[in-house]
């Protein structure tokens, strides 16, 4: 509707007249002034005036219009200035210009939303058990700072302790048996050495006696040969002397003495032969005794050797048993030590997979990840594949942390650090890409204080993929309709 212009010199604005209905329901005829107000006309009988300020409004009508408005406002509404249309036109033009400038220079950010957790950047050290078992204690939480060797969690080790006790008892028994067997080996070896020494001494003594008897036999043989020679010489002499005695050239006394000497020689020969026979018998006895001594000594030595070999075999078996038991014991002790899961390095617990006591762990299962304390914090997020089309490294990111409402703590700026080359399947989100986001600051500000961020805190990242003019956004519906060949 076009604004209506009224000349100030020809118009006297009248306040609106409030019509009331008589109690009997009969309408009264309108006055000329009321008719002019209702139909938009003016009365020619009304004297003209230069301004409208000299007119006194009807206070009763104003009060009935809106009792909460001030009189000045009601007066302005009832008697607007003549410049109002021009001001309205100028205001409209200014509004259109401002809106146009805003829609041209203003921009709308298109973002891709990803969710993730804060974690230190770089390589992390995984804490993995080497034995299976039930978790009995958890000593840390995600985001805690730990020192190298600090206990992260413990696994139930009652069965391992019982096995260690059994192996220690078995090892003690085997070592005791081994000690006793080694003592028997030493005792048997000593007895064998004594038997060998005694046998050698006995044999040596008998061999000495045998040698002496043999020497005696040789002496007897020499004596006997000498006696036999002397006897033969005397026999020959007696034969010569008998011829002389027969011839009377020699007395018979000489022959008698020679016969006496011959009988003594024969007696000596007989005695020497007896001695020789006794010595030969002694030699036979000594040789028999020597042979028996050697046989007994050999038998005793053989028995001792067999006993010694048996003991040595038992010792060898016990030594092997001790070694095997010791290996099992060392392995069990190592498993017991592995039930206490400790931090391999000093740093921050970036991930803690075990939440509750009683969970059963398998060997090689990662229960925690520890990042070195010097590593900067990043936001590791999962971005749905349908929102990853325009995301690229270096794009700005606005990060809102769940633990710090952004209305009070603000938004942390960042940038896309890396994007995984391939998507992986997530149970809740489907196909997702792993996106690492660098944080421009590792703290949030509140009431003049800097609150440091911790690993494990969750956040939502809004990746600014592009900025568009507001005008283009407003024109998008029209362009879409034009593409569909719709004539506006």
CATH of the domain at 405: 2.40.30.170
Q: What is the pLDDT of residues 279-316, one digit of tens each?
A: 888 888 888 888 888 888 888 888 888 988 999 999 99
Give the C-alpha separation, 120 to 129, whole Å: 22
Give the C-alpha separation, 323 to 120, whole Å: 46
Q: Are residues 143 and 164 in the same domain?
A: no
The answer on pLDDT for 102 being more than 80 is no
For residue 173, what pLDDT band results from cuts at 50, 70 and 90? very high
For residue 216, what pLDDT band results from cuts at 50, 70 and 90? confident
β-bridge mates for residue 379, sequence order: 118, 437
Q: Are residues 329 and 205 in the same domain?
A: yes
Residue written as tokens 């048993």? Answer: 321
Out of 334, 365, 395, a domain closes at 334
280 vs 7, residue with greater confidence: 280
The answer on pLDDT for 51 being more than 50 is no
Out of 334, 358, 380, a domain closes at 334
127, 344 in Cβ contact below 8 A?
Answer: yes
Q: Provide the token pair at 281.
A: 């018998």
For residue 475, what pLDDT band results from cuts at 50, 70 and 90? low
The answer on pLDDT for 411 being more than 50 is yes
Torsion of CA 444, 446, 450, 456, to 10 degrees: -40
Q: Are residues 242 and 325 in the same domain?
A: yes
The answer on pLDDT for 318 being more than 90 is yes
Task: Please state at what angle helix 252-338 crosses helix 158-247, rounded to 10 degrees.
Answer: 170
Distances in whole angstroms, Cα of residue 48 to Cα of each of 13, 42, 53, 488: 10, 11, 13, 51
Number of domains making up the chain: 2
Residue written as tokens 């270096």? Answer: 394
For 384, left (φ over 0), alpha (ψ -120 to 50), or beta?
beta
Q: Are residues 412 and 461 in the same domain?
A: yes
Report pLDDT for 485.
64
Q: Are residues 176 and 318 in the same domain?
A: yes
Q: What is the pLDDT of residues 70-92, one digit of tens each?
A: 777 677 667 777 777 777 788 88
The answer on pLDDT for 469 being more than 90 is no
Report pLDDT for 195.
84
Distances in whole angstroms, Cα of residue 297 to Cα of each of 136, 196, 197, 284, 301: 69, 7, 10, 20, 6
Q: Are residues 463 and 383 in the same domain?
A: yes
Q: What is the pLDDT of residues 131-155, one digit of tens each?
A: 888 899 999 888 788 888 899 999 9
Q: Are residues 324 and 399 in the same domain?
A: no
Contacts of 111 (CB under 8 A, 6+ apart): 398, 462, 463, 464, 465
Query: Which domain, by its residues, includes 191?
Result: 158-334
Q: What is the pLDDT of residues 18-38, one digit of tens each?
A: 444 444 444 444 444 444 444
402 belongs to a structural domain: yes
The answer on pLDDT for 199 being more than 90 is no
Q: What is the pLDDT of residues 421-459, one digit of tens each?
A: 888 888 888 899 999 999 999 899 888 889 988 877 899
- What mean pLDDT comes out for the span 104-129? 78
Report pLDDT for 304.
87
Q: Could you give phi then psi for residue 382, rounded to 5 degrees?
A: -115, 120
Report pLDDT for 345.
86
Q: Going edge to edge, which strands form the sheet with 368-372? A: 125-127, 368-372, 347-352, 145-146
121, 348 in Cβ contact below 8 A?
Answer: no
Cα end-to-end distance, the chain, whole Å: 24
Distances in whole angstroms, Cα of residue 396 to Cα of each of 34, 216, 375: 68, 126, 22
Q: Are residues 138 and 184 in the same domain?
A: no
Rg (CA), the chain: 68
- What mean pLDDT comes out for the span 49-78? 55
Average pLDDT, the chain: 78
The answer on pLDDT for 14 being more than 50 is no
384, 430 in Cβ contact below 8 A?
Answer: yes
Q: Are residues 164 and 129 in the same domain?
A: no
Nearest to 326 by CA among 314, 334, 337: 334
Contacts of 231 (CB under 8 A, 6+ apart): 262, 265, 266, 269
Is pTM beyond 0.85 here?
no
For residue 66, what pLDDT band results from cuts at 50, 70 and 90? low
Q: Are residues 312 and 238 in the same domain?
A: yes
Q: What is the pLDDT of residues 331-362, one digit of tens each?
A: 999 888 888 989 888 888 878 888 888 888 88
Report pLDDT for 172.
95
Report pLDDT for 25.
41
**Reduced 3-state DSSP string for the chain:** CCCCCCCCCCCCCCCCCCCCCCCCCCCCCCCHHHHHHHHCCCCCCCCCCCCCCCCCCCHHHHHHHCCCCCHHHHHHHHCCCCCHHHHHHHHHHHHHHHHHHHHHHCEEEEEEEEEEEEEECCCCEEECCCCCEEEEEECCCCCCEECCCCEEEEECCHHHHHHHHHHHHHHHHHHHHHHHHHHHHHHHHHHHHHHHHHHHHHHHHHHHHHHHHHHHHHHHHHHHHHHHHHHHHHHHHHHHHHHHHHHCCCCHHHHHHHHHHHHHHHHHHHHHHHHHHHHHHHHHHHHHHHHHHHHHHHHHHHHHHHHHHHHHHHHHHHHHHHHHHHHHHHHHHHHHHHCEEECCCCEEEEEECCCCCCCEECCCCCCEEEEECCCCEEEEEEEEHHHCCCCCCCCEEEEEECCCCHHHHCCEEEEEEEECCCCEEECCCEEEEEEEEEECCCEEEECCEEEECCCCCEEEEEEEEEEEEHHHHHHHHHHHHHHCCCCC
The answer on pLDDT for 407 being more than 50 is yes
Report pLDDT for 222.
84
Say what percent of the chain tops pLDDT 90.
19
Q: Are residues 223 and 172 in the same domain?
A: yes
Q: Are residues 247 and 329 in the same domain?
A: yes
For residue 228, what pLDDT band results from cuts at 50, 70 and 90? confident
For residue 120, what pLDDT band results from cuts at 50, 70 and 90? confident
CATH, residue 166:
1.10.287.1700
124 vs 324, residue with greater confidence: 324
- What mean pLDDT comes out for the span 375-403? 89
Out of 282, 304, 334, a domain closes at 334
């Amino acid at each position: 509707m076009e604004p209506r212009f009224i000349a100030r010199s020809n118009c006297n604005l009248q306040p609106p007249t409030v019509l009331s209905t008589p109690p009997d329901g009969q309408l009264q005829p309108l006055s000329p002034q009321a008719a002019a107000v209702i139909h938009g006309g003016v009365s020619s009988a009304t004297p003209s005036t230069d301004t409208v300020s000299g007119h006194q409004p009807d206070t009763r009508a104003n009060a009935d219009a809106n009792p909460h408005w001030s009189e000045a406002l009601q007066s302005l509404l009832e008697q607007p200035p003549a410049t109002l249309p021009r001001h309205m036109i100028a205001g409209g033009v200014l509004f259109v210009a401002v809106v146009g400038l805003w829609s041209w220079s203003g921009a709308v950010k298109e973002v891709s939303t990803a969710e993730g957790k804060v974690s230190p950047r770089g390589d992390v050290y995984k804490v993995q058990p080497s034995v299976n078992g039930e978790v009995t204690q958890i000593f840390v939480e995600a985001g805690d700072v730990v020192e190298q060797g600090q206990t992260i969690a413990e696994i139930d080790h009652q069965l391992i302790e019982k096995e260690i006790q059994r192996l220690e008892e078995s090892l003690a028994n085997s070592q005791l048996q081994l000690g006793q067997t080694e003592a028997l080996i030493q005792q048997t070896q000593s007895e064998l050495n004594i038997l060998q020494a005694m046998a050698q001494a006995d044999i040596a003594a008998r061999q000495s006696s045998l040698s002496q008897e043999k020497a005696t036999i040789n002496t007897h043989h020499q004596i006997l040969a000498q006696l036999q020679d002397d006897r033969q010489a005397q026999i020959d002499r007696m034969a010569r002397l008998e011829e002389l005695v027969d011839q009377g050239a020699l007395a018979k006394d000489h022959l008698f003495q020679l016969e006496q000497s011959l009988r003594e020689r024969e007696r000596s020969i007989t005695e020497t032969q007896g001695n020789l026979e006794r010595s030969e018998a002694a030699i036979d006895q000594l040789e028999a005794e020597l042979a028996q001594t050697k046989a007994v000594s050999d038998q005793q030595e053989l028995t001792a050797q067999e006993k010694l070999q048996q003991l040595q075999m038992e010792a060898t078996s016990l030594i092997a048993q001790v070694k095997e038991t010791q290996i099992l014991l060392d392995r069990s002790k190592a498993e017991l030590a592995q039930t206490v899961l400790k931090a391999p390095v000093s740093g921050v617990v970036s991930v803690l997979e075990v939440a509750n006591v009683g969970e059963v762990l398998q060997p090689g299962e990662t229960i925690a990840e520890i990042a070195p304390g010097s590593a900067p914090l990043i936001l590791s997020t999962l971005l749905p594949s349908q929102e990853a089309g325009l995301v690229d490294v270096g794009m700005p990111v606005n990060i809102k942390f769940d633990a710090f409402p952004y209305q009070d703590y603000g938004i942390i700026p960042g940038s896309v650090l890396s994007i995984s080359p391939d998507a992986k399947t997530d149970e809740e989100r489907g196909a997702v890409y792993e996106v690492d986001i660098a944080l421009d600051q590792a703290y949030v500000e509140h009431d003049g204080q800097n609150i440091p961020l911790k690993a494990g805190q969750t956040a939502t990242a809004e990746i600014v993929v592009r900025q568009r003019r507001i005008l283009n956004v407003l024109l998008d519906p029209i362009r879409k309709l034009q593409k569909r060949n719709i004539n506006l």
